[in-house]
């Protein structure tokens, strides 16, 4: 069963994606006990991830690995964006805005047309900036989907939705959906895309999403020397800091490719390694229903669910996923809520 699954996966990957055959290397795959998909092992410290099925059809990764090179289409937003305008205005102020500036911001917000003012993303950011009151957060309002499961004591029923490889054009819509559903998620961003659309990171930050570092060039970090790994992580961190004013406690090695060198570099950067326990394979199927079914079906308390916000088919699945998780009594939260005290360098497949 796993062999068949992986062979099918490899064939599909070859047909759909740009592939490289990785040189054979030693290493063992560490099965993740929380992982329910029999076709996958979670990436071990010296191996590639579950999105990199072995060509030989065996569940043991590391030999003849196939590596998906995602196209990473840059999604530059076009057209007038009132949110960007608000952000641009905001960025012209100092971080410690004086009363006059704050009042000007408030006036600017109130001068927006009503549809723009009520736009979930804008309203959320405006609340975060103290331009409106009272704050409305975390499902206390009777909005659609807001009445369902909320975090249990100790976050015992929490799961984390995580999105890689953006920000991209679909990210705008995803943030709207998350606002409407009152869900905080986590975004592992690539430095060039973050640098190209810092307003999207500021929007994520203002809405309380966790922003993580997905490096600069999406290379397999386990094949780079220590200085190069440091550089990849530093550039990702710099992009987050440039946009939001703060760094991040989380990084995700592209392809789940890590080793001791990467772990040490992450530790130096103060970032834990966020892996995953549920791989939706959204990048492969590009199927909204299947992405929802996998995410909801495999999610257990403490799960970290892997998706990619560069695919419209994934974004279209998110509402279904949130509703499905809540129907199971699970509460989607951001990584900082799921794992409040991550240990730098350590790998987290789920909440420990």
Tell me which residues are annotated as active site. Answer: 164, 308
Least distance CB 50 / Zn ion (angstroms): 13
Q: Which range of residues in 22-30, 131-139, 157-165, 179-187 is near Zn ion by CB under 5 A?
A: 157-165
Measured distance CA(215)–CA(237) in Å, rounded? 8
Q: Pick the closer one to Zn ion by CB: 35 or 193.
A: 193
Q: By CB under 5 A, is residue 279 in contact with Zn ion? A: no
Q: Which range of residues in 27-35, 113-121, 177-185, 252-260 is near Zn ion by CB under 5 A?
A: 252-260
Spatial CB neighbours of 77, under 8 Å, sequence gap ≥ 6: 84, 169, 172, 197
Least distance CB 275 / Zn ion (angstroms): 12
C-alpha angle with apex 317: 40 to 115, nearest 5 degrees?
Answer: 150
How many residues bind Zn ion (CB under 5 A)? The answer is 3
Q: Which range of residues in 19-27, 72-80, 120-128, 248-256 is near Zn ion by CB under 5 A?
A: 248-256
Q: By CB under 5 A, is residue 254 in contact with Zn ion? A: yes
Secondary structure class of 15 (helix, strand, coil): helix
Measured distance CA(40)–CA(29) in Å, rounded? 10
Q: Please give the residue whose beta carbon sits closest to Zn ion in the complex.
A: 164
Q: Are strands 18-21 and 66-69 parallel, antiparallel or unpaired?
A: antiparallel
Measured distance CA(59)–CA(50) in Å, rounded? 9
Q: Pick the closer one to Zn ion by CB: 157 or 237.
A: 237
Choice from 65, 165, 179, 319 touching Zn ion (CB under 5 A): 165
Least distance CB 277 / Zn ion (angstroms): 17
In this structure, what DSSP letter does residue 245 have? S
Three-class HEC string of 132-194 = CCCCCCCCCCCCCCCCCCCCCHHHCCEEEEEEEEECCHHHHHHHHHHHHHCCCCEEEECHHHH
Q: Are strands 66-69 and 158-166 parallel, antiparallel or unpaired?
A: unpaired
Measured distance CA(214)–CA(221) in Å, rounded? 11
Least distance CB 232 / Zn ion (angstroms): 12
Q: Which range of residues in 18-26, 135-143, 246-254, 314-322 is near Zn ion by CB under 5 A?
A: 246-254
Secondary structure class of 39 (helix, strand, coil): coil
Least distance CB 211 / Zn ion (angstroms): 15
Q: Pick the closer one to Zn ion by CB: 65 or 164.
A: 164
Choice from 32, 41, 46, 164 touching Zn ion (CB under 5 A): 164
As to burial, measured by CB atoms within 10 angstroms (0-12 exposed, 13-18 middle, 19+ buried), residue 150 is middle
Q: By CB under 5 A, is residue 253 in contact with Zn ion? A: no
Q: Pick the closer one to Zn ion by CB: 164 or 230.
A: 164
CB atoms within 10 A of CB 346: 15
Least distance CB 190 / Zn ion (angstroms): 8
Q: Pick the closer one to Zn ion by CB: 164 or 205.
A: 164
Residues forming contacts to Zn ion in the complex (CB under 5 A) are 164-165, 254
């Amino acid at each position: 069963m796993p062999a068949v699954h992986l062979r099918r996966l490899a064939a599909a990957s070859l047909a759909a994606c740009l592939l490289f055959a990785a040189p054979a290397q030693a290493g063992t795959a560490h099965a993740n006990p929380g992982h329910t998909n029999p076709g996958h092992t979670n990436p071990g410290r010296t191996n590639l991830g579950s999105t990199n099925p072995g060509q030989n059809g065996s569940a043991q990764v590391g030999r003849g690995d196939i590596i998906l090179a995602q196209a990473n289409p840059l999604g530059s937003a076009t057209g007038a964006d009132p949110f960007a305008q608000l952000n641009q205005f905001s960025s012209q102020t100092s971080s410690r805005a004086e009363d006059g500036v704050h009042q000007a911001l408030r006036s600017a917000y109130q001068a927006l047309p009503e549809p723009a003012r009520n736009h979930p993303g804008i309203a959320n950011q405006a609340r975060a900036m103290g331009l409106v009151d009272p704050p409305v957060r975390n499902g206390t309002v009777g909005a659609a989907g807001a009445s369902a499961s909320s975090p249990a004591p100790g976050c015992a029923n929490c799961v984390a939705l995580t999105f890689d490889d953006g920000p991209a054009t679909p990210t705008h819509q995803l943030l709207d959906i998350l606002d409407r559903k009152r869900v905080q998620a986590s975004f592992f961003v690539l430095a060039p895309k973050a640098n190209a659309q810092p307003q999207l990171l500021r929007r994520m930050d203002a809405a309380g999403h966790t922003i993580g570092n997905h490096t600069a060039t999406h290379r397999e970090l386990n094949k780079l020397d220590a200085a190069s790994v440091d550089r990849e992580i530093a550039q990702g961190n710099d992009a987050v800091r440039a946009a939001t004013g703060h760094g991040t406690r989380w990084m995700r090695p592209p392809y789940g490719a890590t080793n001791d060198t990467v772990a040490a570099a992450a530790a130096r950067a103060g970032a834990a390694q966020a892996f995953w326990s549920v791989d939706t394979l959204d990048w492969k199927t590009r199927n909204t229903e299947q992405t929802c079914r996998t995410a909801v079906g495999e999610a257990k308390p403490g799960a970290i669910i892997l998706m990619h916000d560069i695919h419209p088919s994934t974004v279209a699945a998110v509402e279904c996923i949130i509703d499905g998780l809540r129907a199971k009594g699970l509460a989607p939260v951001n990584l900082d809520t799921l794992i409040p005290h991550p240990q730098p360098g350590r790998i987290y497949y789920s909440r420990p």
